[in-house]
Structure 1
Amino acid sequence: MLLAILVIAYYFCLPKTLFDTPTATVLESQEGNLLGALIADDGQWRFPVMDSVPQKFEQCLLQFEDAHFYRHPGFNPVSMAKAIGANISAGKTVRGGSTLTQQLIRLSRNKNRTYWEKVIELVLATRLEFRLSKEEILKLYASHAPYGGNVVGLDVAAWRYFGLRPHQLSWAESATLAVLPNAPSLIYPGKNQQRLLAKRNRLLRKLRNEDIIDTTTYELALLETLPQKPYDLPTMAPHLVQYMAKRHRGKRLRTTVDQSLQHNINTIVGYHHGNLSQNQVHNAAVLVMDVKTRKVLAYVGNTPTGPAQQKDVDMVQANRSTGSVIKPLLYTAMLDSGELLPDMLVPDVPTQIAGYTPENFNEDYSGAVTAKKALARSLNIPAVRLLQSFGLQKFRDQLDGFGLKGIDKPADHYGLTLILGGAESSLWDLCKTYANLASTINHFNTSSSEYYKKEFINPILIQNQTVDFGKLSTEKTLFDAASIYLTFEAMKEVNRPEGNESWEFYDSSKQIAWKTGTSFGNKDSWSIGVTADYVVGVWVGNADGEGRPNVTGVTSAAPIMFDVFDVLPTGDWFQKPLDEFADISVCAESGFLAMEACPSKTIAIPNKTNFVEPCSFHQVVQLDGNGHFRVNSSCADLSTSRTESWFVLPPLQAYYFKKSHPTYKALPPLRQDCKNDAAPPMEFIYPKSGSRISLVRNFEGQQNELVVKLAHTKPETLVFWYLNETFMAQTKNFHEIGLLPSPGKHKITALDALGNEIFVTITVE
Structure 2
Amino acid sequence: MLKRVKWRYRLMLVTLLVLGAWFYQCLPEQLFNAPYSSIVLSREGKLMGAHIAKDEQWRFPPVEQVPDKFAASIIAFEDKRFEQHIGVDPMAVARATYLNITQGRVVSGASTLSMQVIRLSQQNPPRTLWNKLFEAGRALRLETRFSKREILNLYASHAPFGGNVVGLEAAAWRYFGRGADKLSWAESAMLAVLPNSPGLIHVSRSRARLKAKRDRLLLTLKQQQTLSELDYSLAVAESLPLKPEPLPRLTPHLLDTLNAQHQQQATNTPPRFETTLNRSLQRSAMQIAKHHGDTLALRGVNNLAMMVIDNKTFEVLAYVGNTPTERANKHGQAIDLVQRPRSTGSTLKPFLFASMIQSGEILPETLVSDTPVRYSGYRPKNFNRDFHGAVVARAALASSLNIPAVNMLSYHGVERFLDTLKQMGLKHLHRNARDYGLPLILGGAEASLWELTGLFANLSSIAQQNATEDWRFYRDATWLKDPDKPSDISTKSTRSNRINNISPASAWMTLQSLLEVSRPGNAGYWKRFNSTHKVAWKTGTSFGFRDAWAIGTTPQYTVGVWVGNASGEGHPGVTGVQVAAPMMFDMFNRLSVDGSWFEKPIWQMKTVKLCKDDGFLENDLCDGVDYQIPSGSHFERTSPNHQRIHVVEEGDKLWRVHSGCESVAKMQRRNWFVLPPDQAFYYRQFNANYQPLPEWRADCQLSAQSMVNENPISLIYPRSNTQVYIPKDLANERSKVVFKAVHRNPNAQLFWHLDNTFLGTTQDFHQQAVWVNAGMHTVTLVDENGQEVSQRFEVLSDE
Does the 8 A contact of 1:623 with 1:642 survive in 2? yes
Q: Deviations over 1:699-741 (max 9, x none)?
A: x999976543321111212223345544443222222344455
Query: 3-state SS of the aligned residue for 1:394?
Result: helix
Label 1:149 to 1:491 Cα distance change in 2 as closer, same or farther (>3 A). same
Once the two structures are TM-superposed, the CA of residue 664 in structure 1 deviates from its matched residue by 1.0
Does the 8 A contact of 2:273 with 2:480 survive in 1? no
Label 1:735 to 1:409 Cα distance change in 2 as closer, same or farther (>3 A). closer
Query: Counterpart of 2:38 in structure 1: which amino acid?
Result: T
| Residue 20 (structure 1) aligns with | 33
| Residue 135 (structure 1) aligns with | 149
Does the 8 A contact of 1:454 with 1:469 survive in 2? no
Does the 8 A contact of 2:547 with 2:570 survive in 1? yes
Deviates more, 1:671-680 or 1:701-710: 701-710
Once the two structures are TM-superposed, the CA of residue 161 in structure 1 deviates from its matched residue by 1.9
Q: Deviations over 1:566-622 (max 9, x none)?
A: 222223211111121111011111111111011111100111352432111111111
Does the 8 A contact of 1:269 with 1:560 survive in 2? yes
Q: Deviations over 1:433-484 (max 9, x none)?
A: 2222222232325x2xx53444433435315344562899xx9842111111
Q: Within 5 Å, give how 1:634-653 maps onto structure 2.
A: 634-653=660-679
Query: 3-state SS of the aligned residue for 2:607?
Result: strand
Label 1:711 to 1:323 Cα distance change in 2 as closer, same or farther (>3 A). same
Counterpart check, 1:303 vs 2:334: no
Q: Gaps spanning 5+ residues in structure 1: where?
A: none
Deviates more, 1:434-443 or 1:7-16: 7-16
Q: Deviations over 1:266-323 (max 9, x none)?
A: 2222222222222211222111111111111111112213321222211211111111
State the distance in 1 between where 2:255 and 2:193 align.
32
Q: Within 5 Å, give how 1:276-295 maps onto structure 2.
A: 276-295=296-315
| Residue 250 (structure 1) aligns with | 270
| Residue 418 (structure 2) aligns with | 396
| Residue 457 (structure 1) aligns with | 476
Q: Within 5 Å, give how 1:556-595 maps onto structure 2.
A: 556-571=579-594, 572-595=596-619
Does the 8 A contact of 2:546 with 2:574 survive in 1? yes
Query: Counterpart of 2:612 in structure 1: which amino acid?
Result: A
Counterpart check, 1:663 vs 2:689: yes
Query: 3-state SS of the aligned residue for 1:383?
Result: helix
| Residue 116 (structure 2) aligns with | 103
| Residue 7 (structure 2) aligns with | none
Give the aligned CA root-mean-square deviation in angstroms: 2.9
Counterpart check, 1:437 vs 2:459: yes
Deviates more, 1:710-719 or 1:79-88: 79-88
Does the 8 A contact of 2:647 with 2:655 survive in 1? yes
Q: Within 5 Å, give how 1:329-478 maps onto structure 2.
A: 329-444=351-466, 447=468, 450-464=469-483, 465=485, 466-467=489-490, 469=492, 477-478=500-501
Counterpart check, 1:481 vs 2:504: yes
Query: Counterpart of 1:440 in structure 2: which amino acid?
Result: I
| Residue 733 (structure 1) aligns with | 764
Query: 3-state SS of the aligned residue for 2:194?
Result: helix
| Residue 11 (structure 1) aligns with | 24
Between the two proteins, what is the percent identity of the paired residues?
43
Query: 3-state SS of the aligned residue for 2:657?
Result: coil
Label 1:289 to 1:252 Cα distance change in 2 as closer, same or farther (>3 A). same
| Residue 692 (structure 1) aligns with | 724
Counterpart check, 1:124 vs 2:141: no
Q: Deviations over 1:118-143 (max 9, x none)?
A: 00110111121222222221111011
Counterpart check, 1:275 vs 2:295: yes
Query: Counterpart of 1:579 in structure 2: which amino acid?
Result: W
Deviates more, 1:43-52 or 1:592-601: 43-52
| Residue 4 (structure 2) aligns with | none
Q: 1:718 aligns with which of 749, 754, 759?
A: 749
Q: Deviations over 1:162-198 (max 9, x none)?
A: 2222133333332332222123233243444454344
Label 1:242 to 1:609 Cα distance change in 2 as closer, same or farther (>3 A). closer
Deviates more, 1:86-95 or 1:54-63: 86-95
Deviates more, 1:258-267 or 1:208-217: 208-217
Query: Counterpart of 1:170 in structure 2: which amino acid?
Result: S
Label 1:471 to 1:129 Cα distance change in 2 as closer, same or farther (>3 A). closer
| Residue 265 (structure 2) aligns with | none
Once the two structures are TM-superposed, the CA of residue 220 in structure 1 deviates from its matched residue by 5.2
Counterpart check, 1:491 vs 2:491: no
Does the 8 A contact of 1:38 with 1:245 survive in 2? no
Once the two structures are TM-superposed, the CA of residue 201 in structure 1 deviates from its matched residue by 4.2
Q: Within 5 Å, give how 1:672-687 maps onto structure 2.
A: 672-674=698-700, 675=703, 676-677=705-706, 678-687=709-718
State the distance in 1 between where 2:435 and 2:442 align.
14
Label 1:105 to 1:598 Cα distance change in 2 as closer, same or farther (>3 A). same
Once the two structures are TM-superposed, the CA of residue 498 in structure 1 deviates from its matched residue by 8.5
Once the two structures are TM-superposed, the CA of residue 536 in structure 1 deviates from its matched residue by 1.3
Once the two structures are TM-superposed, the CA of residue 329 in structure 1 deviates from its matched residue by 0.9
Counterpart check, 1:77 vs 2:90: yes
How many equivalent pairs are there? 757
Does the 8 A contact of 1:105 with 1:125 survive in 2? yes
Once the two structures are TM-superposed, the CA of residue 222 in structure 1 deviates from its matched residue by 4.8
Query: 3-state SS of the aligned residue for 2:195?
Result: helix
Once the two structures are TM-superposed, the CA of residue 101 in structure 1 deviates from its matched residue by 1.0
Q: Deviations over 1:186-234 (max 9, x none)?
A: 3243444454344434434544555544666556545544444322211
Q: TM-score, normalised by structure 1?
A: 0.92
Q: TM-score, normalised by structure 2?
A: 0.88
Label 1:67 to 1:470 Cα distance change in 2 as closer, same or farther (>3 A). closer
Does the 8 A contact of 1:303 with 1:311 survive in 2? yes
Q: Deviations over 1:474-510 (max 9, x none)?
A: x984211111111111111324989875599x9x932
Once the two structures are TM-superposed, the CA of residue 145 in structure 1 deviates from its matched residue by 0.2
State the distance in 2 between where 1:478 and 1:728 align.
53
Counterpart check, 1:630 vs 2:656: yes
Does the 8 A contact of 2:472 with 2:501 survive in 1? no
Does the 8 A contact of 1:622 with 1:638 survive in 2? no
Deviates more, 1:100-109 or 1:48-57: 48-57
Does the 8 A contact of 1:452 with 1:470 survive in 2? no
Query: 3-state SS of the aligned residue for 1:309?
Result: coil
| Residue 31 (structure 1) aligns with | 44
Query: Counterpart of 2:741 in structure 1: which amino acid?
Result: L
State the distance in 2 between where 1:451 and 1:165 align.
40
Query: 3-state SS of the aligned residue for 1:540?
Result: strand
Query: Counterpart of 2:304 in structure 1: which amino acid?
Result: A
State the distance in 2 between where 1:391 and 1:701 align.
39
Label 1:403 to 1:501 Cα distance change in 2 as closer, same or farther (>3 A). closer
Query: Counterpart of 1:694 in structure 2: which amino acid?
Result: I
| Residue 614 (structure 1) aligns with | 638
State the distance in 2 between where 1:710 and 1:453 align.
48
Query: 3-state SS of the aligned residue for 1:182?
Result: coil
Label 1:220 to 1:624 Cα distance change in 2 as closer, same or farther (>3 A). closer
Q: Gaps spanning 5+ residues in structure 2: where?
A: 1-12, 263-268
State the distance in 2 between where 1:579 and 1:170 align.
57
State the distance in 2 between where 1:503 and 1:463 align.
40
